[in-house]
Amino acid sequence: MKHLFSQKSGFYILMGALILLNACQDKTEDPAPVLSENAKVNTWIQTIMDQAYYWLEDMRKPISLESDPEDYFESLLFRPTDRFSVIFPDYQELINSLSGVTKEAGYEITLARESSTNNNVVAFVTYTKKGSPAEIKGMKRGDLITQINGVRMNLDNYRELLALRSEAHTVSLFRYNQESANYVALPSVDLTTAVLSENPNFLDSIYTIGNQKIGYVVYHFFAPGIEGQSTRYDDEMDEIFAKFKAEGINNLILDFRYNGGGSQSSAVNLSSLIAPGVTDKDVLSKNKFNSFLSGFEQFKNVIIEFENKPENLGTILSGNRLYVITSSRTASASELIINGLKPYMDVFLVGGVTFGKNVGSFALQDTENPNNKYGLLPIAFQSFNKNDQSDYSNGFQPNVQGNELSQPTLLPLGDTNEFLLKLTLEQITGIPSPDRLQLIDRIDLGSSLENQTRFGKLIDDQTKFKLNR
């Protein structure tokens, strides 16, 4: 069967503590003690972890039940093996963030050391979000930020300065001039923040080069939609592939360089548009649970199957090959697609080694205690493909390596001269670029993407998981 439980939009998963009362209890016994708010929350956390935590046998002993819930949760985790389980102060904010709804200025950055001879740090704008304050103020991909609120970023202070981006702030910008081959200072930009609904379907294009017709999709995270439009983004992806099919493309490039993961259901949707000849009887992946849950028949072999998609174009792709642009920020649900499609086709990677996350979570809330606003994302399962392969905890190695920071500037996404897209197009056409730029040795210090709630997440949003009461 396709799913073991009923499908449900969103991420609402009913979990709660089960309190057993002895029917024969002596009426003269003292009443049960009244728990503090922290103790109530921590009891709920413990109940979830005792049943759902993937590393159940390795779970640590808890600290005091009166502890701060975030400290209590952390005390249970099997660190450093478990790099991913997290607790959030507000479940609804967690769900909004997973759907791309956040308060921000609307630009993402990649950090680099300016030079090996000094401690200065620079931030390259990787993309701006549509309708955001950053886009409205004219910021563009490739712009270079050196100062925030008038303070120069360096190895000692850049983390503190970047934290200021959550509120109104000022950035000092430089923009690359192609003619002079230098960065030129721009006026400082004052930025406010706003609540944005980022659409993960960032860009799609079709390129005709010789006898090759190439579809290109930039997809930034996995989310089916937003509240009130629960399948909006998946539906838009279907429309993109319907257009590709109508135009008769024979090659496909997925740009996952900034895709840190997200919803399992959206990964199923996208995979179902690509894998050749699959139906809802074919296996995309398998979720394997801990020793406790695996003791129940319905958790012994949870199969995630493809969907029937009329827009599927797998059979028309040349050489049964899919091209994927990757980086160290390609994680989780993105890696599920790479791993899940490998038994069905040649998945050819261009870029960097992926993040390496083959485990996933449920998004959990306490439905019985209205005072408990916390949301949990404990690791609850490991993901395998059809052939029971899950050996990518250290990431997938690219077939062709490339680092966009090795270029003087970041050209617009979709520009055929943009470094990683150009490398991929060369693999498709067999025509090497005559004007390959000299590579620059820059040290990557991280990305704002890694601080997003959705980064490194694989969320099972297809299973309604409910404990007995």
Average pLDDT over residues 272-295: 96
Backbone conformation region of residue 210, classed left if phi is above 0, alpha if psi is from -120 to 50, else beta: left
- The tokens for 424 are 């991929």
CA 28 to chain centre: 55
* Mean pLDDT score of the chain: 91
Whether 8 has a pLDDT exceeding 80, the answer reads no
Q: DSSP alpha helices (H): ranges in 101-210?
A: 133-136, 158-163
pLDDT (average), residues 337-359? 98
The rounded distance, in Å, linking the Cα atoms of 66 and 42 is 8
Beta strand spans in 61-192 (E): 86-88, 101-104, 107-113, 121-128, 144-148, 151-152, 169-177, 182-185, 189-191
Percent of the chain with pLDDT over 90: 85
Residue 19 confidence class, pLDDT cut points 50, 70, 90? very low
Contact 441, 406 (CB under 8 A): yes
- In this prediction, residue 380 carries a pLDDT of 96
Q: How far apart are CA 418 and CA 427, in angstroms?
A: 14
Which residues pair with residue 446 across a beta bridge?
Answer: 111
**Given 3-state DSSP classes, what are the helix, strand and coil percentages for the chain, each rounded to the nearest 5?**
25, 25, 50
What would the pLDDT profile of 24-72 be if each residue is shown by its tens digit? 444 556 676 789 999 999 999 999 999 999 999 999 999 999 999 999 9
Q: How confident is the model at residue 464 (pLDDT cuts 50, 70, 90)?
A: low
Asked if the model's pLDDT at residue 228 lies above 50, the reply is: yes
- If residue 428 lies in a helix (H) or strand (E), which one and from where to where? helix 419-429
pLDDT exceeds 50 at position 407: yes
Given a cut of 80, whether residue 263 has pLDDT beyond it is yes
Identify the CATH number of the domain defined by range 198-439+446-459: 3.90.226.10
Domain definitions of the chain by residue range: 104-196, 198-439+446-459
- What is the mean pLDDT of the segment spanning 230-235? 97
State mean pLDDT over 361-377.
Answer: 95
**Least confident span in 6-15, 190-199, 373-382:** 6-15
Poorest-confidence range of 85-99, 292-306, 395-409? 292-306
Rounded CA gap, 252 and 274, in Å? Answer: 9
pLDDT at 33: 78
Q: Work out whether strand 375-377 and strand 86-88 pair parallel, antiparallel, or are unpaired.
A: antiparallel
The CATH code of the domain at 104-196 is 2.30.42.10
How far apart (Å, rounded) are the C-alpha atoms in residues 53 and 43?
15
Nearest to residue 167, comparing CAs of 137, 134, 129, 194? 194
pLDDT band at 431 (very low <50, low <70, confident <90, very high): confident
Region 398-423: mean pLDDT is 97
Q: Tell me what pLDDT residue 108 has.
A: 98
Cα separation, 126 vs 124, in Å, equals 6
Full-model pTM: 0.92
